[in-house]
């Protein structure tokens, strides 16, 4: 009776073995060469409590790649941790009348269990959670160091305020003017906030995208657009009757003669000034403040404006241009003011038409347009016109060339409880003082009665009452916590050095940048940009010599069901838990890898899952049926001593290995899975009577190793049972044998004397007559015949077939 495939049993067994043997533990502190190390990182999950198929796909891809690299001889670092601070924990705590920490820890526990059940080869000794004090201590340290370098500062800022969730929202969290979670109408509020000066790195962040040759172009483009580098001119307009000037940023100084009005942002200082004396302006501004500040929303919102009684003087022709306050101008871009050219700019035209403002054409209607209505510049085509006008502006000191960025400084203050405390003390005398390093970490108080909507830290005396690190007098702690994007902007360092040696250790560069970073496309912009920024800050602090944190980036495709994204709201979710229960983890892993290349969307198919299960079962049964002969044989292809059919099988196996190895490199892991299936097809045909055991062991050994990264549990069990070795995870990855591949490129040529067969020689396909004669002389038997036949009258040579000596 052979043992039947019982994933539940063998998967538990393999997992226990890895734990016991610490198979995936890696030393990062010992001296090693960067090229021998492989750092494979999957974006750590938010501790939401449930693992969905998107996670499973993300982490399976990383795990297959990691296991493969280990077999290929690399020291592989594959860690896992938890992005564990954030709003959902607070909301859940309210719902469950619990505490965010309890909820979070419970979730970590259950998610970890599921990850272990999936058989992911993590070095669990490096597990981290961003809510751990040992972890965030270094984040607080970094903040203080950045402050010393002028890279963090506090300023009043208008923020999107969600009156229900009682928190500041990022622009992306405002959807159609409403809070993304609460759906409440978002208000604009001015409060003091901490900012990171990411704009100081705008140019580097833009330029270094070029060095990221192993990133998807789509992601690089998104980053580039987000940074939004733009070369243009600041043009200074005098305000009639006032001492100050109004500066505008334009990329089209060539259109200056078409500027028929000016438009300034509602929060421009000039607007604020006017609002003090003018009720209409004041109420217009108030009205606009209700509108979302998200750029996309501003672009599409109805163009509103109010005219002021100020006029600007156009420096190129001294014409008077009315100044408007308009809702489509961003204070945070350029100078917060524009010259409007309705003839050339769509937004300005829309505004002009609505408010009945003048439109002055500046380009002719010809195939090659040239300037018109533009004084001495008339007749110039655009490029030349721009050059000439900018030059004159610079010469007359009415303007200067400038590069601006769409990127803004990163607001990191959150008025929430469940986050890393910002390590600042507010002293009545000294102002905002950074905590002393020896006082870190500033711990988040845990024993707190959790209640919704309350600014908890602000009411927690034990937390905020402290003394000033500078003067020693009584003072209040900052009660804002960090944006959780900060928590995840440096975690890839902590996995390596684990905070033993500071935020990073010198040895970290033996592993940095991350060889392969895998995660969802939803993180294409912010997370990756913040991490790139922090890495550059660490570089400038001389804590690393690596400028980019992630060498290769893989954005895995989505998991779909019938063409739609799997999601709770659509009710089409398939739970990994149920599937593990039914088929075992190996089947899910195989399906995920087999069904689509990692970067493409994967459409769920119950039938295909079933098919994967059947495949694994077949392999299992086949090996079990042959288990005795496998146990008692040594692996050897026995290529010289087997029949032609078996030889062909062995050649086919090696040819399949060529494809598999080509595709492991370009991460088309799906062909590794289909390659394994192909191998099995060939292997199940092996029938030779001689040397069957050795040949089978050779072939099955290849199959198990190819399949191991994808179905690690089953192959682990079969490897040990078939006496292939102790731990397949440490076995050498299978590559094609060149000498066997060459066999396929060889032919057998018959040697004849006067038309009678005397023997055969093997030679390369298409070998010449001379080559064949050399081969004959090189073979004892044929050479003996050759020596007997002298003189040769005639030689008949048929390429790849025969050589006939006529004597
Ligand atoms: C006159 C003009 C004429 C403009 C024309 C464009 C086309 P990019 O290329 O994205 O950098 N602008 C400047 N500051 C702005 C702000 N704070 N809010 C809204 N719009 C602003 O865009 C630069 C152009 O965007 C600038 O050039 C300005 O309009 C507008 F045919 O000036 B332009
Ligand atoms: Zn003080």
Report pLDDT digits (tens) over 241-252: 999 999 999 999
Distance 471 CA to ligand 2 centre (A): 4
Distance CA 53, CA 433 (A): 46
Tell me the average pLDDT of the chain: 94
Q: What DSSP state is assigned to residue 303?
A: -
Closest atom of ligand 1 to 337 CA is 17
Q: Is the distance from CB of 274 to CB of 268 less than 8 angstroms?
A: no
Query: Distance between CA 12 and CA 714 in Å, rounded?
Result: 11
Cβ neighbours of residue 657 under 8 Å, at least 6 residues apart? Answer: 675, 702, 706, 734, 735, 736
Residue 449 confidence (pLDDT): 76
CA-closest residue to ligand 1 atom 20:
329
Cis peptide before 791 (omega within 30 of 0): yes
Q: Distance, CA 468 to ligand 2 centroid (Å)?
A: 5
Enter the DSSP assignment of 363.
B
| Position 763 pLDDT exceeds 90 | no
Q: Is 261 in the pocket of ligand 1 (CB under 6 A)?
A: no
Ranges assigned E (strand) in 4-68: 37-42
User: What pLDDT score was predicted for residue 764?
Assistant: 83
Helix residue ranges, H only, 541-640: 576-583, 585-595, 606-625, 627-632
Q: What would the mean pLDDT of 348-356 be, rounded to a whole number?
A: 96
- Reference 38, options 68, 80, 74, 81; nearest CA is 74
Can you tell me the mean pLDDT for 408-434? 95
Q: How confident is the model at residue 627 (pLDDT cuts 50, 70, 90)?
A: very high
| pLDDT tops 90 at residue 209 | yes
Tokens, residue 438: 């020896």
Element (H, E) at 245: strand 245-250
Q: Identify whether the C-beta of residue 752 lies closer than 8 Å to the C-beta of residue 778.
A: no
- Quote the pTM value: 0.88
Residue 251: CA count within 13 A, CB half-sphere: 11
In this predicted model, which residue has the larger pLDDT, 332 or 600? 600
Separation CA 711–CA 708 (nearest Å): 5
Is residue 293 predicted with pLDDT exceeding 70?
no
Nearest ligand to the CA atom of 476: 2
The position carrying tokens 């483009």 is 221
Give dist(CA 489, CA 549) in Å, integer: 10
124-134 residue pLDDT tens? 999 999 999 99
Is any atom of ligand 1 closer than 6 Å to the C-beta of 250?
yes
3-state secondary structure 416-468: CCCCCECCEEEECCCEEEECCHHHCCCCCCCCCCCCCCCCHHHHCHHHHEEEC
Q: Which ligand has an atom closest to residue 331 CA?
A: 1
| Encoded tokens for 274 | 């006017």
- Specify the residue with its C-alpha closest to ligand 1, atom 28: 250
Burial class (CB in 10 A: 0-12, 13-18, 19+), 775: buried
User: Which secondary structure element, helix H or strand E, spans residue 155, and what is its range?
Assistant: strand 152-162
CB burial class (10 A; 0-12, 13-18, 19+) of residue 732?
exposed
Mutate to test the pocket of ligand 1, among 227, 252, 300 (most ligand atoms within 8 A of CB): 252
Residues with CB under 5 A from ligand 2 (ion): 427, 429-430, 468, 470-471
Residue 666, judged by CB atoms within 10 A of its CB (0-12, 13-18, 19+), counts as exposed
CB 534, CB 492: distance < 8 Å: no
The arithmetic mean of pLDDT across residues 554-560, rounded, is 95
Q: Is the pLDDT of residue 452 over 70?
A: no
Name the helix (H) or strand (E) containing 672.
helix 669-683
249 Cβ below 6 A of ligand 1 = yes
Interatomic CA distance for residues 171 and 295, integer angstroms: 8
- Given a cut of 90, is residue 176 above it in pLDDT? no
776 vs 789, higher pLDDT: 776
With H, G, I as helix, E, B as strand and everything else as coil, classify residue 101: helix
Residue with CA closest to ligand 1 atom 19:
329
């Amino acid at each position: 009776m052979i043992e039947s495939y019982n994933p539940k049993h063998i998967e538990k067994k393999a997992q226990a073995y890895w734990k016991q043997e610490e198979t995936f533990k890696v030393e990062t502190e010992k001296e090693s060469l960067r090229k021998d190390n492989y750092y494979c990182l999957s974006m750590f999950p938010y501790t939401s409590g449930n693992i969905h198929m998107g996670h499973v796909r993300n982490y399976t891809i990383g795990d297959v790649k990691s296991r493969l690299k280990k077999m290929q001889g690399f020291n592989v670092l594959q860690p896992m941790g938890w992005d564990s601070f954030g709003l959902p924990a607070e909301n859940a705590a309210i719902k469950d009348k619990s505490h965010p920490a309890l909820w979070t820890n419970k979730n970590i526990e259950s998610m970890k269990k599921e990850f272990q059940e999936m058989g992911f080869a993590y070095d669990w000794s490096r597990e981290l959670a961003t809510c751990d004090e040992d972890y965030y201590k270094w984040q607080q340290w970094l903040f203080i160091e950045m402050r010393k370098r002028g890279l963090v500062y506090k300023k009043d800022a208008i923020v999107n305020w969600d009156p229900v969730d009682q928190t500041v929202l990022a622009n992306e969290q405002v959807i159609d003017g409403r809070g993304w979670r609460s759906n409440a109408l978002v208000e604009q509020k001015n409060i003091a906030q901490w900012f990171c000066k990411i704009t100081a790195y705008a140019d580097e962040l833009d330029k270094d995208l070029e060095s990221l040759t192993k990133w998807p172009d789509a992601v690089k483009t998104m980053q580039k657009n987000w940074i939004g580098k733009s070369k243009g001119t600041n043009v200074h307009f005098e305000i009639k009757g006032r001492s100050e000037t109004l500066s505008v940023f334009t990329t089209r100084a060539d259109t200056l003669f078409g500027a028929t009005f000016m438009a300034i942002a509602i929060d421009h200082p000039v607007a604020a000034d006017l609002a003090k004396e003018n009720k209409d302006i004041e109420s217009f501004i108030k009205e606009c403040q209700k509108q979302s500040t998200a750029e996309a929303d501003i672009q599409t919102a109805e163009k509103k404006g109010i005219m002021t009684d100020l006029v600007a003087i156009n420096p190129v022709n001294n014409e008077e241009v009315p100044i408007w306050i308009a809702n489509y101008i961003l204070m945070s871009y350029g100078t917060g003011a524009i010259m409007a050219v309705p003839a050339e700019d769509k937004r300005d035209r829309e505004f002009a038409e609505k408010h009945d403002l003048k439109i002055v054409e500046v380009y002719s209607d010809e195939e090659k347009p040239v300037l018109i209505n533009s004084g001495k510049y008339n007749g110039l085509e655009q490029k030349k016109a721009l050059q000439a006008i900018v030059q004159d502006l610079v010469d007359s000191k009415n303007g200067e060339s400038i590069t601006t960025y769409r990127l803004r400084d990163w607001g990191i203050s959150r008025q929430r409880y469940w986050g890393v405390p910002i390590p600042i003390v507010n002293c009545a005398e000294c102002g905002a003082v950074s905590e002393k390093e020896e006082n870190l970490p500033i711990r988040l108080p845990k024993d707190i009665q959790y209640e919704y909507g309350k600014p908890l830290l602000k009411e927690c005396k034990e937390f905020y009452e402290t003394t000033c690190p500078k003067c020693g007098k009584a003072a209040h702690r900052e009660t804002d916590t960090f944006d959780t994007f900060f928590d995840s902007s440096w975690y890839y360092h902590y996995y390596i050095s684990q905070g033993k040696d500071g935020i990073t250790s010198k040895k970290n560069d033996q592993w940095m940048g991350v060889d392969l970073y895998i995660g969802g496309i939803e993180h294409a912009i912010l997370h990756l940009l913040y991490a790139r920024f922090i890495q550059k800050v660490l570089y400038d602090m001389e804590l690393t010599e690596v400028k980019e944190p992630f060498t290769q980036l893989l954005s895995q495709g989505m998991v779909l069901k019938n063409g739609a994204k799997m999601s709770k709201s659509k009710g089409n979710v398939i739970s990994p838990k149920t599937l593990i229960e039914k088929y075992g983890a190996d089947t899910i892993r195989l399906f995920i890898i087999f069904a689509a290349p990692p970067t493409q969307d994967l459409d769920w198919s119950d039938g295909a899952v079933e098919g994967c299960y059947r495949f694994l079962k077949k392999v299992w049964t086949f090996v079990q049926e042959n288990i005795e002969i496998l146990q008692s044989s040594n692996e050897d292809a026995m290529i010289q001593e087997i029949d032609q059919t078996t030889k062909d099988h062995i050649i086919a196996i090696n040819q399949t290995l060529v494809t598999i190895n080509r595709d492991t490199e370009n991460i088309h892991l799906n062909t590794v899975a289909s390659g394994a299936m192909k191998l099995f097809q060939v292997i199940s045909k092996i029938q030779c009577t001689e040397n069957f055991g050795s040949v089978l062991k050779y072939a099955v050994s290849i199959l198990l190793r190819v399949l191991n990264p994808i179905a690690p549990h089953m192959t682990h069990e079969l490897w040990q049972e078939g006496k292939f070795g102790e731990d397949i995870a440490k076995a050498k990855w299978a590559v094609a044998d060149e000498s066997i591949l060459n066999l396929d490129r060889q032919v057998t040529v018959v040697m004849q004397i006067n038309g009678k067969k005397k023997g055969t020689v093997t030679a390369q396909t298409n070998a010449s007559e001379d080559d064949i004669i050399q081969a004959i002389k090189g073979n004892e038997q044929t050479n003996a015949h050759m020596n007997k036949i002298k003189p040769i009258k005639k030689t008949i040579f048929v390429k790849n077939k025969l050589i006939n000596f006529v004597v």
